[in-house]
A and B are shown apart, each in its own frame.
Chain A
């Protein structure tokens, strides 16, 4: 390994593991109660309807069972999580210079402002429970594109938020963590793209948890009107603590007729984080939804982005990559519901497990009666790098229509000795050879991301694999 790479790796560790001393102008008590929820709502000066939705969600949360069909969640103690933490009075600055110094420093280390200048159309940054910075380039703002945090959206676009927020797409009754989210959500983004507007550069939101034992529950609501086109990128990280953090985000995407939305996530939560998300998109006629997800971090991830293809000719694409190292359980997959004729879906899943890590693909494809001419393909490949690792594949397919073309394929295997031997015979060291094979394996994901992110992701993989060969 070259010195340069080594230095880079040291720098990466500093980058993600960097922690600021905790500071807060408001910190809720640990655990959940009606009182805490009322306090959060009051702190945010929300309208009554939002408080009512929160309280109703809390009822659902109390009544819903913990999911027992996936990874073990017994170490997750929701009662001791800090649901809300506001680091600073100022929220949602449009000028980077006004963001408090230590917070700015964190995002500088993560390379956010740099990326904004070079490759992004807009950037939002959330620190703990509140968004600290949000900016959209003028050229799209002029066309009516809205990119702001949810609190601002409630103030400025109340009707839209009231209509779309956890009503039609992900109701709080959907599952335990959606209900939890509905009760104590804070921060996140609101994106509105008017009819026929194309945002050529991706918009990015970065979510950072800094404090120990806290929970982050940001909400992302994207509305793409007919013919609109947008690429939204979400990045996540947190430093490592001994107590568990929890991230239960919720993403709702509305794809209008002929509209196109790509939602990309690169998640590098610290390995004490429970990452339990609900993400869903409703797609109208001829609309397109792409979910690109890379799950690198967290202790346990449960993530199954869902697309409901409502309108004829709508299409979906999922590319999902899970990378599980020591102590990690990455349970990811995809759900697609074909409700209309001539809809199509393509699911491609790649998982890598090493050092005793566990990956699982869990997917569901449903074809409703009358949805004629549906095409769906599911492709799952798993790579296991050592003896201790585990990889499962569990797709479910429910087909209630005969006029379909449905295919599923999966493979599990290890890196071929021959591949490694070949690369070694060309003078490449074994660990580097393995990294090359893995980089090639995840290429379908990296090629979907802007170059900066692709490079970043490859480096993260290298970082994870460092020292993996004894």
Chain B
């Protein structure tokens, strides 16, 4: 099933196989038809330079072979009975109204063409529904080892008023795989949703991901997103703060080695007063890797008394590595406190010298510094088990580079 093979008939078949309701089938078909009319995902362009070339993703021809091999996915969840944790494709009929309400309520498929392709052919993903007032203590943990040529994962997390839930996903495997991952989080009034993601696919794979949360009043949506694998990643992690008194934390980690290219976008839109956001991303770039980071705090006119902070730090450990950054503030209300800070630098010679003088050889000293560089973000994680995995991946990547 290559690009030529994906057509209306293929999509109808896919939909029929799952006995999908008509609205869902129509959504798929419409999204597929709209591909040519939709823009590419936003990529920064400065005079004479486009920060990321998305041609390489070649999404339509990569959409083939979705069922070629078996992907292993597991979900661990210790949740009360009234909480739903299922594979989304299995529960569309059973929880039709819930799914219909949540789908497209946060991320819309017509925002760009990669989202349209995703909406046309998505197959699996996680559906989490937490009823009003229910607090889920443990972490809902998903692990996916991708063994397909292309995987389109659609996740919906709905937390009703005053519900609390934490989801941690990790993705690994891949062999020239195209991995498309859309996550929509809806947090009702007083709800709290924490979503952690660790992407560690093979270095010849490709990732397109858009994760977004929407808050009610006094709600909280928190992200930690780690980007380690793939040849090319285009990622957006964002929150729309719709309700008064809400907050969001948006933390990110990335570690580029070899020829990896990461295009990472994080943003928060404040549409309501008395809201706060804390965005903090740290990355290390080694070898010939390239990172393009765009972070935006957008405060719209009705949002006053907003506190919003954004920090991005990049450590360049190789002469050939490149880091591009654009931390933006778009402020339409004067009664705010917003700031951003970005730094880029290399390992301090004095630090190395100091460690050398203490008998730590240069390679080891470098590793210690890199590890330490991620510490301020890792320390903020509300997911202890994911934290260990993050550390393992960082260790492994450092060893591979040596």
Contact = CB atoms under 8 A, between A and B. Distances in A.
Nearest to B312: A408
Contacts of B45: 69
B183 interface: no
B340 A410 contact: yes
A404 interface: yes
A233 to B, nearest CB: 28
- Main SS of chain A's interface residues? strand
A384 interface: yes
A398 B327 contact: no
A147 B316 CA distance: 47
B263 to A, nearest CB: 13
Contacts of B337: 411-413
A393 B328 contact: yes
Interface string B312-346: 00101111111111111111111111111111111
Interface residues of A, number: 34
B400 interface: no
B341 A408 contact: yes
A411 B339 contact: yes
B346 A404 contact: yes
Chain B CB within 10 Å, residue with most, of A69, A402, A405: A402
Contact of A397 (B331, B335, B341, B342): B342
A428 interface: no
Contact of B318 (A397, A402, A412): A402
A382 B333 CA distance: 12
B346 A403 contact: yes
A414 B334 contact: yes
B49 interface: yes
Contacts of A404: 316, 344-346
B106 interface: no
B14 to A, nearest CB: 39
A386 interface: yes
A400 interface: yes
Nearest to A402: B316
Interface residues of B, number: 39
Given A364-B46, A400-B322, A411-B339, A382 B345 contact: no
Interface string A396-426: 1111111111111111111000000000000
Contact of A396 (B301, B324, B336): B324
B334 A410 contact: no
A385 B334 contact: yes
Contact of B342 (A392, A400, A401, A407): A407
Nearest to A354: B334
Contact of A412 (B327, B336, B345): B336
A400 to B, nearest CB: 5
A392 B344 contact: no
Interface in B40-61: 44-47, 49
A69 B337 CA distance: 26
Contact of A364 (B47, B323, B331): B47
A359 to B, nearest CB: 10
A374 to B, nearest CB: 10
A435 interface: no
Interface string A34-54: 000000000000000000000
A421 to B, nearest CB: 15
A210 interface: no
B319 A369 contact: yes
Given A392-B329, A409-B342, 5 more contacts: A369-B319, A391-B331, A395-B325, A400-B322, A402-B319
Interface of B: 44-47, 49, 301, 304, 314, 316-346
21 contacts: A69-B45, A364-B46, A369-B320, A382-B331, A384-B334, A387-B335, A392-B329, A392-B331, A393-B329, A394-B328, A395-B328, A397-B326, A398-B49, A402-B317, A402-B321, A404-B344, A406-B343, A410-B329, A412-B331, A412-B337, A413-B338
The 3 A-B residue pairs with the shortest CB-CB distance in the complex, in nearest-first order: A384-B334, A402-B316, A406-B344
